[in-house]
Amino acid sequence: MKLNKIERLYTDNINKYGIDSRAVGWNSKDSQNLRFQKLLYVIQDKSLPFTINELGCGYGELYKYLQNNKFNFSSFYGYDISQAMLDAFRKYINDTQRIELFKKSEIQTHADYTITSGIFNTLCGIDRSEWSQHIKETLLNMFKYSDKGMAFNLLTSYVDYKDDNLFYANPGEYIDFCKKELSSKVNLYHDYDLYEWTLIVLK
């Protein structure tokens, strides 16, 4: 799938907002950190060494969160379709020894865990059924390169109002997909104060 419009959106955002949660579509750093907290439930013991992929790494805020919260990661592989985001990542993060960055929309490095946050929310005019298929293909790619597990989030379909430009998903559909196509070890988190849910899939 061509992601040119989405790439332009995030490139424009980082040029407009700089190192700011709004550049990656979140209205506050607190909500961004809450998402990271839920996604990182996939890592059951942060004191043990691990490697991690992030698809849609943006300017590096997840990396900063891992550092600040003393997660014991040895390698971080960041993927983004926006070169401007990757350039901002390099400027924002000084710890370059553990980082490899890739301008790609698919994972190609094996790691213990793969995480993505928010990359499935914005449609940019793409047909919803086509986008749903893209999400599922992306999840297959993420799981293939995850040696221990993966985590992702989506806006929930259980809302009173829907923005036509955003993609909302029924968690049941994705639980069913993950259980059938990926693993029986699936955990859903739909109990926090954001209009979304987080799904963790373990190997």
The answer to whether the Cα torsion of 60, 62, 67, 71 is positive or negative is negative
Nearest 10 degrees: CA dihedral of 137, 143, 141, 49? 150
Tens-place pLDDT, residues 121-132:
999 889 999 999
Give me the pLDDT at residue 2, please.
67
CATH of the domain at 191: 3.40.50.150
Give me the number of domains the chain comprises: 1
Q: Find tokens 């790619």 and name the residue.
A: 141
Q: Output the pTM of the full model.
A: 0.92
Structure-block tokens of residue 23: 């550049």
Q: Find tokens 């990757």 and name the residue.
A: 86
Tens-place pLDDT, residues 3-55:
877 777 767 776 777 666 666 655 677 888 999 999 999 998 999 999 999 99
Rounded Cα distance, 177 and 25, in Å: 26
DSSP-derived letter for residue 122 is: B
Give me the pLDDT at residue 4, please.
79
Tens-place pLDDT, residues 89-147:
999 997 778 999 999 999 999 999 999 999 999 998 899 999 999 999 999 999 999 99
Rounded Cα distance, 122 and 135, in Å: 12
Give me the pLDDT at residue 89, please.
94
Domain membership of residue 76 as a residue range: 4-202
Give me the pLDDT at residue 26, please.
56
Tens-place pLDDT, residues 143-179:
999 999 999 999 999 999 999 999 999 999 999 999 9
Helix (H) or strand (E) holding 153, with range, is strand 146-156
